[in-house]
Amino acid sequence: MKTVQEMAFSFNKNILASHTGGQLSSDGGLTLCVELMAKFQFTNLADNLLKFNDHRQYCQHSNSSILMQLVLQIIAGYNTDSAATSLVAEPLFKLLLDKPALASQATISRFWQRIDTAGVDAFQTLNQALIDQARLLTNQTTTIIDIDSTHSDTYGNQEATDYNAHY
């Protein structure tokens, strides 16, 4: 039973966000990212829009599953392929991705190798589809680019101060 301090996620009803303490993960904020990705139907879009030069005979992880793992790893600050090795025992990632094992470093490296010029174009199409969904949800028809014109004086011999005026 959920309390006032708990919230269930629509992408996986077995996960509850609770503010009551207990076992914690420093990557707990990823649950909100996965919830947002579910709202945008990220996996369905990736499955439909991303086509790779993929000749794998046996595969445990789909390309969209590997991509989702990579996105979550990068958001959590695990920026390299080799970070997958340290996340093997991380239960939160397995729970969020709803699979018994994460893609290994070798699997991720092979994923990157499958991306060719057509794959880059497909990623741009996926990006545009996600942007379009966000704009539909918020009903925005214009984009505002806010350029900060604030001048910041620097003193002494600070490195790269000439770049401040570039803005």
Whole-angstrom Cα distance, residue 92 to residue 4? 23
CB contact at 8 A, 93 and 87: yes
pLDDT in tens, 35-48: 989 988 999 999 99
- Count Cα neighbours of 33 within 13 Å in the Cβ-side half-sphere: 17
40 φ, ψ to 5°?
A: -85, 0
Q: What is the pLDDT of residues 124-141, one digit of tens each?
A: 999 999 988 888 877 777
Q: What pLDDT score was predicted for residue 137?
A: 77
Mean pLDDT taken over the chain? 81
Residue pLDDT, tens place only, 19-40: 666 655 677 788 889 998 998 8
pTM more than 0.85: no
Is 122's pLDDT higher than 80?
A: yes
CA nearest to 64, candidates 100, 97, 105? 97
pLDDT higher than threshold 50 for residue 3: no
Mean pLDDT, rounded, for 59-68: 90
Cβ 72 vs Cβ 93: under 8 Å: yes
Collapse the DSSP code of 142 into the 3-class scheme (helix H, G, I; strand E, B; otherwise coil) and give the result.
coil
Question: And the tokens for 164?
Answer: 């401040």
- DSSP secondary structure string, 48-103? HH-------SS-SS-HHHHHHHHHHHHHTT--STTHHHHTTT-HHHHHHHTSSSPP
98 Ramachandran zone, left/alpha/beta (phi>0; psi -120 to 50): left
Unique residue bearing structure tokens 């793992």: 69
- Residue 83: which residues within 8 A CB-CB, separation 6 or more? 73, 105
Q: Can you tell me whether residue 128 is helix, strand or coil? A: helix
